[in-house]
């Protein structure tokens, strides 16, 4: 290994180890690339502002060639910004040292000779790929005309307008459409240029002598395109019969070409539009924190979503039925048409990051278990609640990592049997579960400054307050639940009292508990 | 113990769950469905399944509706069947207890009109439970573990008998469950129309023969209570 190679290797390792370098690069990426970063959002607005002002200045200059002093300074300033931006984008487009090390380590590990030239060529190729990418070319064209020797390229300042593509997400769709339909558009372009070439050469051959307006091939080309585009200014008109035939044919081909072009772009737009809308919804989800993902918007999902939505919980609903999602969206919920069994979808929806709970409420056990498993693999902390369809599968849900799983049929079985033997206790159970009568279960937490802490249960004086203590949860003890504690049971800090009664009675008890220590 | 027959119309998962629990408690019951392909499954599970066309009134009468049938469950997946069956049975017998299940919100009202005594909505119940798990997970866990679960804490109803010491007492004067590890959730007062009143509503009830108390507690404690008050 010669000195130069060893220098490069050492330098690459140095970069790899340098925290400052990584942090700087990461910062630039947040600023320029990461779709959801706040920083990029402000930077984009700033750049749009620069672009618009510099183009306006160009327009101003048309009539006022002397310009304004401040504006000139401003243009210089914007140029500096654009150059810096260009260089930064060039820098972060790829990790050269990584590429270098990859090749180096590959060579070392496999006992192959390491070629410095080839590694550098690979790096350069990667960088070149970036330089010739459409957006990079636009960036470059937006900078070049500002240099004095290239003043004649001033019109290219208009290219700065194209730079706006970078800063607006929906603008990117246009670029995407064009790249996606590359093949169709290319075919069409070949056909169109063939027609134009034939048309313009025909008119040139037939009319150069007779028609005073057609003197050069350029005139013929201009006429052919104007005619083909169905614009037909009428400044140049064919005078010979042959020329008229050419014009007629050209018009027919022109209409066909334009219809073709329009249909390509429209159809591609339509398919893109759905995607665009979806990405909007994903962007909405990105703004949420601590939300609940509901997979399946069937009857169960609907009931849950409605109740949680009314309570102000943030929800994201996934279903593969478009109509159901439409229904959800009409109800003001965030809905996404997607197959929840695709693990990519759950990841994109932030399961594992910002979602706090996930509800598997589809009508298939296989799907529910699969979603449970996927969600658990994405996050250890997320709370998974699953609806079991067939009771025999319940165990699998817990194996897959669900926190809660239960089947409606089981509850139906219990309640149905209860109804036969004990109709009144069935009614009690029904009212306790549905809370239709206004009697609810609630939790009173004995926090740090709670009035009732270190007092016996007796002190709560619940029967006078028309409340009932169902039991006490004490998380640090096992069993954690103490059913119906006796009246001399001492309450501790952090105890959770499960109380039954009317809401306003519970609230007045809570108030007493909260302000108690002030006395 | 219940006298009279129990009929379960529709042989599906809910029906199997109900059947399993009824069997546990020693009740005799019959499944009725019109799909003969379910027979092997019923046999495997050890249940009696009669294949019959339940849309025919004669068939329903032959099962004893209007005579000795006291409970009917309509458990079909299709609400149409449930509503029609409920209506047919109610027309034949105005007194039989009909428990109907439903799968859509709109059908609840229709079943009520058709004459169902009580309506079980599995989706509603399921949805409500998920909702509770999210809003108040601790409470739901406790309820699941105690009332629904394995823990030896049950809900039971106790009818006041004529000879009981509780007959004729005022609830405010004696809190009967005080010395037992159980909770009096509420009661059914024969004199009042309402089916069930929570104890926390604060009415001062006079307990009479035929009133029903609903308690939660360990089975042993409930037994002790019943013995002490000769219930």
Specify whether the backbone of B168 is left (phi greater than 0), alpha (psi in -120 to 50) or beta.
left
Let me know if residue A280 belongs to a domain. Answer: no
Count of residues in chain B: 231
Signed CA dihedral, A428, A434, A439, A440: sign only: positive
Based on the fold, state whether residues A52 and A159 are members of the same structural domain.
yes
CATH code, domain carrying A202: 1.10.287.70
Let me know if residue A137 belongs to a domain. Answer: yes
Based on the fold, state whether residues A151 and A60 are members of the same structural domain.
yes
The reply to whether residue A481 touches residue B146, judged by beta carbons under 8 angstroms, is yes
| Cα dihedral B9→B10→B12→B15 (10° resolution) | -10
- Number of domains present in the structure of chain B: 2
Region of poorest pLDDT, from A95-104, A226-235, B21-30, B143-152: B143-152
Based on the fold, state whether residues A91 and A207 are members of the same structural domain.
no
Q: What is the pLDDT of residue A410?
A: 80
Based on the fold, state whether residues B35 and B90 are members of the same structural domain.
yes
Residues of B in contact with A467 (CB under 8 A): 200
Residues of B in contact with A410 (CB under 8 A): 17
A residues 233..292 contacting B (CB < 8 A): 292
Closest approach of chain A CAs to the CA of B158, in angstroms? 9
Based on the fold, state whether residues B110 and B166 are members of the same structural domain.
no
Closest approach of chain B CAs to the CA of A480, in angstroms? 10
Task: Report the pLDDT averaged over residues B188-212.
Answer: 76
Let me know if residue A425 belongs to a domain. Answer: no
- Number of domains present in the structure of chain A: 4
Based on the fold, state whether residues B114 and B213 are members of the same structural domain.
no
Based on the fold, state whether residues A69 and A154 are members of the same structural domain.
yes
The reply to whether residue A303 touches residue B99, judged by beta carbons under 8 angstroms, is no
The reply to whether residue B131 touches residue A496, judged by beta carbons under 8 angstroms, is no
The reply to whether residue B127 touches residue A299, judged by beta carbons under 8 angstroms, is yes
C-beta neighbour count of A437 within 10 angstroms = 16
Closest by Cβ to B195, choosing from A427, A473, A481 = A427
Residue pair A378/A385 in contact by the 8 Å Cβ criterion: no
Q: Which of B87, B31, B124, B155 is nearest to A414 (CA)?
A: B155
At A3, phi and psi to the nearest 5? -65, -40
Task: Report the pLDDT averaged over residues B180-193.
Answer: 78
In A, minimum Cα distance to B200 occurs at A466
Based on the fold, state whether residues A213 and A107 are members of the same structural domain.
no
Let me know if residue B30 belongs to a domain. Answer: yes
CATH code, domain carrying B33: 3.40.50.720
Based on the fold, state whether residues B164 and B99 are members of the same structural domain.
no
CATH code, domain carrying B189: 3.30.70.1450
Let me know if residue A43 belongs to a domain. Answer: yes
pLDDT > 80? residue B48: yes
Let me know if residue B149 belongs to a domain. Answer: no
CA A285 – CA A294 distance, rounded (Å): 13
Q: Which of A417, A419, A392, A422 is nearest to B24 (CA)?
A: A417
Based on the fold, state whether residues A231 and A324 are members of the same structural domain.
no
The string of DSSP codes covering B136-150 is -HHHHHHHIIIIISS
Q: What is the pLDDT of residue A519?
A: 46
Q: Domain range holding A100? A: 3-167
Give the angle A45-A51-A56 at the CA atoms, nearest 5°. 125
Count of residues in chain A: 519
The reply to whether residue A468 touches residue B199, judged by beta carbons under 8 angstroms, is yes
Q: What is the DSSP letter of B160?
A: P
Residue pair A303/B128 in contact by the 8 Å Cβ criterion: yes
Based on the fold, state whether residues A296 and A214 are members of the same structural domain.
no
CA A107 – CA A101 distance, rounded (Å): 10
Let me know if residue A25 belongs to a domain. Answer: yes
Specify whether the backbone of A454 is left (phi greater than 0), alpha (psi in -120 to 50) or beta.
left
Let me know if residue B45 belongs to a domain. Answer: yes
Q: How many CB pairs under 8 A join A and B?
A: 200
Based on the fold, state whether residues B68 and B160 are members of the same structural domain.
no
Let me know if residue B144 belongs to a domain. Answer: no
Residue A12 is encoded by which pair of tokens? 């690459």
Let me know if residue B176 belongs to a domain. Answer: yes
Closest approach of chain A CAs to the CA of B53, in angstroms? 24
Based on the fold, state whether residues B19 and B106 are members of the same structural domain.
yes
Based on the fold, state whether residues A208 and A249 are members of the same structural domain.
yes
The answer to whether the complex's ipTM is over 0.85 is no
Residue pair A372/A396 in contact by the 8 Å Cβ criterion: no
Q: What is the pLDDT of residue B149?
A: 66
Based on the fold, state whether residues A130 and A201 are members of the same structural domain.
no
Q: Which of A153, A164, A133 is nearest to A45 (CA)?
A: A164
Let me know if residue A282 belongs to a domain. Answer: no
Q: What is the pLDDT of residue A218?
A: 92
Based on the fold, state whether residues A127 and A212 are members of the same structural domain.
no
In B, minimum Cα distance to A363 occurs at B123
Using 50, 70 and 90 to split pLDDT, how confident is the model at B198? confident
Residue pair A457/A489 in contact by the 8 Å Cβ criterion: yes
The reply to whether residue B104 touches residue A427, judged by beta carbons under 8 angstroms, is no
Let me know if residue B38 belongs to a domain. Answer: yes
Let me know if residue B209 belongs to a domain. Answer: yes
Q: Domain range holding B192? A: 154-228
pLDDT > 80? residue B97: yes
Q: Which of B91, B95, B28, B100 is nearest to B56 (CA)?
A: B91
Partner B contacted by A431 (CB < 8 A)? yes
Closest by Cβ to B123, choosing from A408, A414, A483 = A408
Report the DSSP pairing between strands B212-217 and B182-188. antiparallel
Domain final residue, candidates B120, B143, B177: B120
Closest by Cβ to A385, choosing from B2, B6, B130 = B130
Closest approach of chain A CAs to the CA of B195, in angstroms? 7
Signed CA dihedral, B51, B55, B56, B59: sign only: positive
CA-based radius of gyration for chain A: 36
Specify whether the backbone of A444 is left (phi greater than 0), alpha (psi in -120 to 50) or beta.
beta
Based on the fold, state whether residues A314 and A225 are members of the same structural domain.
no
Domain final residue, candidates B96, B120, B144: B120
CA A429 – CA B152 distance, rounded (Å): 17
Based on the fold, state whether residues B107 and B168 are members of the same structural domain.
no
Q: Which of A340, A404, A400, A346 is nearest to A376 (CA)?
A: A400
Give residues with Cβ within 8 angstroms of A75, minimum separation 6. A54, A57, A146
Based on the fold, state whether residues B88 and B163 are members of the same structural domain.
no
Based on the fold, state whether residues B165 and B220 are members of the same structural domain.
yes
Based on the fold, state whether residues B10 and B83 are members of the same structural domain.
yes
SS3 readout for A54-92: HHHHHHHHHHCCCCCHHHHHHHHHHHHHHHHHHHHHHHH
Partner B contacted by A445 (CB < 8 A)? no
The string of DSSP codes covering B176-198 is TTTTTTEEEEEEE-TTSS-S-EE
Domain final residue, candidates A389, A410, A431: A410
In A, minimum Cα distance to B105 occurs at A299
The reply to whether residue B123 touches residue A300, judged by beta carbons under 8 angstroms, is yes
Q: What is the DSSP letter of A297?
A: -
Residue pair B205/B160 in contact by the 8 Å Cβ criterion: no
Burial class (CB in 10 A: 0-12, 13-18, 19+), A486: exposed
Specify whether the backbone of A5 is left (phi greater than 0), alpha (psi in -120 to 50) or beta.
alpha
Domain final residue, candidates B120, B146, B181: B120
Closest approach of chain A CAs to the CA of B148, in angstroms? 8
Residues of A in contact with B143 (CB under 8 A): 432, 441
CATH code, domain carrying A461: 3.30.70.1450
Residues of B in contact with A299 (CB under 8 A): 103-104, 123, 127
Q: Which of A485, A480, A492, A487 is nearest to A446 (CA)?
A: A492
CA A358 – CA A401 distance, rounded (Å): 12
Based on the fold, state whether residues B26 and B116 are members of the same structural domain.
yes
Q: Which of A473, A457, A474 is nearest to A509 (CA)?
A: A457
The reply to whether residue A442 touches residue B139, judged by beta carbons under 8 angstroms, is yes
Residue pair A485/A457 in contact by the 8 Å Cβ criterion: yes
Full pLDDT tens readout for chain A, 519 residues: 578 888 888 888 888 888 888 899 888 888 887 776 788 888 888 888 888 887 787 778 777 767 667 777 777 788 888 889 889 988 888 888 888 888 888 888 888 888 888 888 888 998 998 888 877 888 887 777 666 555 555 666 677 777 776 666 666 677 777 788 888 889 999 999 999 999 999 999 998 888 888 889 999 999 999 998 888 898 999 999 999 999 999 999 999 999 998 998 888 888 877 777 777 788 788 778 888 999 999 888 888 898 889 888 889 999 988 899 888 989 888 888 888 777 788 888 888 788 888 999 888 889 999 999 988 988 888 889 998 888 888 889 999 999 888 888 888 888 888 788 778 878 887 777 777 777 888 888 888 778 888 888 888 887 777 888 888 888 777 777 888 888 788 888 888 888 888 888 888 888 888 876 554
Which single residue is written with the structure tokens 């009967």?
A: B176
Based on the fold, state whether residues A254 and A304 are members of the same structural domain.
no
Strand partners, A404: A385
Let me know if residue B132 belongs to a domain. Answer: no
Let me know if residue A432 belongs to a domain. Answer: no
Terminal Cα-to-Cα distance of chain A (whole angstroms): 82
pLDDT > 90? residue B107: no
Mutate which: B77, B142, B148, vs A, most A CBs within 10 A: B142
Let me know if residue A177 belongs to a domain. Answer: no
CATH code, domain carrying A331: 3.40.50.720
Based on the fold, state whether residues B68 and B168 are members of the same structural domain.
no
Residues of A in contact with B153 (CB under 8 A): 483
């Amino acid at each position: 290994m010669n000195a130069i190679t060893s220098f490069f290797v050492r330098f690459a390792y140095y970069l790899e180890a340098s925290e400052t370098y990584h942090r700087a690069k990461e910062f630039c990426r947040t600023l320029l690339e990461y779709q959801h970063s706040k920083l990029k959002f402000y930077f984009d607005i700033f750049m749009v502002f620069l672009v618009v002002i510099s183009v306006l200045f160009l327009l101003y200059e048309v009539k006022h060639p002397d310009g304004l002093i401040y504006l000139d300074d401003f243009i210089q300033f914007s140029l500096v910004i654009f150059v810096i931006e260009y260089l930064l984008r060039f820098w972060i487009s790829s990790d050269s040292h990584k590429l270098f090390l990859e090749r180096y380590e590959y060579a070392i590990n496999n006992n192959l000779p390491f070629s410095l030239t080839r590694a550098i060529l690979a790096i350069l190729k990667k960088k070149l790929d970036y330089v010739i990418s459409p957006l990079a070319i636009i960036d470059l064209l937006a900078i070049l005309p500002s240099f004095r020797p290239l003043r004649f390229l001033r019109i290219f300042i208009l290219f700065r307008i194209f730079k706006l593509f970078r800063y607006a997400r929906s603008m990117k769709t246009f670029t995407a459409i064009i790249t996606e339909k590359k093949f169709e558009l290319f075919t069409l372009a070949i056909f169109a240029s063939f027609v134009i070439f034939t048309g313009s050469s025909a008119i040139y051959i037939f009319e150069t002598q007779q028609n005073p307006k057609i003197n050069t091939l350029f005139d013929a080309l201009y006429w052919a395109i104007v005619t083909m585009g169905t614009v037909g200014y009428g400044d140049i008109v064919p005078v010979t019969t042959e020329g008229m035939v050419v014009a007629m044919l050209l018009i027919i081909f022109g209409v066909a070409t334009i219809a073709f072009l329009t249909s390509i772009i429209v159809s591609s737009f339509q398919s893109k539009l759905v995607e665009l809308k979806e990405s909007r919804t994903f962007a909405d989800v990105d703004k949420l924190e601590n939300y609940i993902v509901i997979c399946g918007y069937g009857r169960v999902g609907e009931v849950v979503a409605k109740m949680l939505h009314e309570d102000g919980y943030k929800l994201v609903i996934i279903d593969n039925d478009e109509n159901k999602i439409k229904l959800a969206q009409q109800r003001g919920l965030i809905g996404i048409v997607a197959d929840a069994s695709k693990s990519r979808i759950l990841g994109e929806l932030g399961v594992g990051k910002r979602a706090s709970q996930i509800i598997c409420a589809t009508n298939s056990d296989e799907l529910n278990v699969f979603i449970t498993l996927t969600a658990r693999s994405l996050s250890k902390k997320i709370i998974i609640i699953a609806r079991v369809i067939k009771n025999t599968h319940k165990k699998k849900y817990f194996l897959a990592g669900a926190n809660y799983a239960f089947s409606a049929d089981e509850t139906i079985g219990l309640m149905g049997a209860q109804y036969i033997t004990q109709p009144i206790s069935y009614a009690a159970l029904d009212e306790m579960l549905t809370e239709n009568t206004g009697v609810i279960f609630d939790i009173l937490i004995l926090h740090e400054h709670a009035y009732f802490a270190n007092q016996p249960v007796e002190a709560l004086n619940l029967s006078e307050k028309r409340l009932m203590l169902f039991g006490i949860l004490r998380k640090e003890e096992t069993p954690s639940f103490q059913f119906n504690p006796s009246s001399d049971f001492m309450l501790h800090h952090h105890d959770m009292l499960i109380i039954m009664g009317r809401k306003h009675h519970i609230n007045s008890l809570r108030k007493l508990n909260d302000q108690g220590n002030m006395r | 113990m219940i006298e009279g027959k129990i009929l379960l119309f529709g042989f599906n998962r809910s029906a199997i769950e109900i059947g399993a629990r009824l069997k546990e408690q020693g009740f005799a019951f019959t499944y009725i469905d019109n799909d003969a392909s379910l027979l092997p499954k019923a046999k495997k599970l050890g249940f009696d399944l009669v294949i019959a066309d339940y849309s025919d009134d004669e068939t329903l009468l032959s099962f004893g509706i209007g005579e000795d049938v006291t409970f009917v469950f309509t458990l079909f997946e299709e609400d149409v069947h449930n509503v029609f069956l409920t209506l047919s049975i109610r027309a034949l017998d105005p007194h039989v207890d009909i428990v109907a299940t439903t799968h859509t919100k709109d059908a609840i009202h229709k079943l009520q009109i058709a004459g169902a005594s009580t309506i079980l909505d599995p989706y509603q119940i399921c949805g409500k439970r998920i909702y509770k798990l999210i809003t108040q997970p601790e409470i739901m866990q406790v309820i699941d573990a105690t009332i629904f679960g394995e823990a030896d804490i049950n809900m039971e109803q106790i009818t006041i008998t004529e000879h009981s010491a509780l007959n004729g007492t005022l609830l405010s004067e004696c809190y009967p469950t005080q010395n037992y590890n159980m909770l009096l959730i509420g009661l059914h007062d024969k004199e009042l129309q309402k089916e069930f009143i929570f104890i926390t509503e604060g009415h001062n009830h006079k307990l009479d023969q035929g009133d029903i108390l609903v308690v939660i507690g360990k089975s042993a404690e409930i037994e002790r209570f019943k013995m002490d008050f000769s219930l």
